[in-house]
Amino acid sequence: MSNKDEGRPGEGLRAITRRRFFQTAGFSACGIAAVGAAALGENFLEPRALFEPPTRFLLGAPESITPGAVYLEEAHQVYVMRFAEGFRALSAVCTHLGCITRYQPDDKCIACPCHGSRFSLDGEVLEGPAPRPLPWLRVELTASGRIAVNTAEEVALGTVFKL
Ligand code: FES
């Protein structure tokens, strides 16, 4: 071997090192990009659905509700009432800003603790600022003889259900 073929000492070694450095850097950048894309892809594929509780809930048998009683089902924020003409269910959520109302047995009305709205047992607004009556909801009798209320299904005001 002659000195002509070898070039300057260390020249070939530097070129290989530089090439390898750029190859390694390039592969590393591609690897990091691939991992990032995979993480984003997995995040994208995850469902974004919000799981809400069921809108339909069951109570006991119709006989379990005393005639004239106003029963607040706390978990679903619904009043269930039994009168001579039938059953009714009203939302307990105030139509002003969404506070939960309370039945006032002494005044036979429903009152909102937040801004003072008052509703009749028909849900009509007696005093504002609530802009609308309390919504009435569908009441059904299940095959097993229990009362079912669906908070997602409004009915016309004054709709009572014979169970
Ligand atoms: S939220 Fe009921 S009166 Fe304002």
| Distance from residue 136's CA to the centre of ligand 1 (Å) | 18
Residue type, 38: A
Nearest ligand 1 atom to the CA of 113 is: 2
Residue 44 CB: number of other CB atoms within 10 A? 8
What confidence tens digit (pLDDT) does each residue in 65-92 have? Answer: 888 888 898 888 999 999 888 899 999 9
Q: Which of 36, 144, 132 is nearest to 90 (CA)?
A: 132
56-155 fold: Rieske Iron-sulfur Protein (2.102.10)
Q: Whose CA is nearest to atom 3 of ligand 1?
A: 115
User: Do residues 104 and 152 lie in contact, with contact meaning Cβ atoms separated by under 8 Å?
Assistant: no
| Distance from residue 127's CA to the centre of ligand 1 (Å) | 10
- In this predicted structure, which of 37-46, 54-63, 110-119 has the lowest mean pLDDT? 37-46
Nearest ligand 1 atom to the CA of 97 is: 1
Pocket of ligand 1 (CB under 6 A): 94, 96-97, 99, 112, 114-117, 129-130
> 77, 91, 93, 97: which to mutate for ligand 1, most atoms within 8 A of CB?
97
Domain ranges of the chain: 3-45, 56-155
What confidence tens digit (pLDDT) does each residue in 122-142 have? Answer: 999 998 899 999 999 999 999
Q: What's the CA gap between 70 and 107, in Å, rounded?
A: 13
Residue in this structure with the two tokens 């603790």, named with its chain if needed: 113
Judged against a pLDDT cut of 60, whether residue 3 lies above it is answered with no
User: Do residues 144 and 133 lie in contact, with contact meaning Cβ atoms separated by under 8 Å?
Assistant: no
Q: What's the CA gap between 92 and 134, in Å, rounded?
A: 7
Prediction pTM value: 0.66
User: Do residues 114 and 96 lie in contact, with contact meaning Cβ atoms separated by under 8 Å?
Assistant: yes
